[in-house]
Amino acid sequence: MKIVRSILASFILAVGVAGASAPTFGDLAVFIAKGYFKSYIPKDASMEQCVAFLNKQGICFSLLDLLNPNKTVGPEDCARVVGQSMLLFSGEAVVANGCIKKPLEMETWVDYCLLNDVDSDAIWKILTRSTSGGSFSEVRQFFKKQSEAL
């Protein structure tokens, strides 16, 4: 429980908290990369760098989800990414097809988080408050570059 509180504090300091909206997959990737993995990723990392880092670790994000600025994440998506991160940190991650697998005895990633005393709901709430004013600047910059390229 101590590690979860420490991680939550890191999220608040690294990303800041604003007030509740539906974040995108890009927002989730930036939030997790710059929160959980802030020691391994540059502070000014782009959304693409955050996603590449996470995917390399086995915390997978779909290109189709990332390229759709209207595709939002839900609490279950957040639980998956948090659960995959916890398995990676614990050294218990099993990777198949490049992605960290959910333990077989768990029905959902939410179950995994609950049974392992990981408050993914609190992390979800911080993420939604952090994006209440819109997507993170890294995500906005990504889509701005995409629209300029067209």
Q: What is the pLDDT of residues 87-114, one digit of tens each?
A: 999 999 999 999 999 999 999 999 999 9
Whether residue 9 has pLDDT greater than 50: no
Average pLDDT across the chain, whole number: 88
Residue 96 has what pLDDT?
A: 96
Residue 149 has what pLDDT?
A: 84
pTM of the model: 0.84
Residue 21 has what pLDDT?
A: 55
Tally of domains in the chain = 1
Domain extent, residue 96, equals 2-149
pLDDT, mean of residues 60-77: 95
CB-based contact 81:28 (threshold 8 Å) = yes
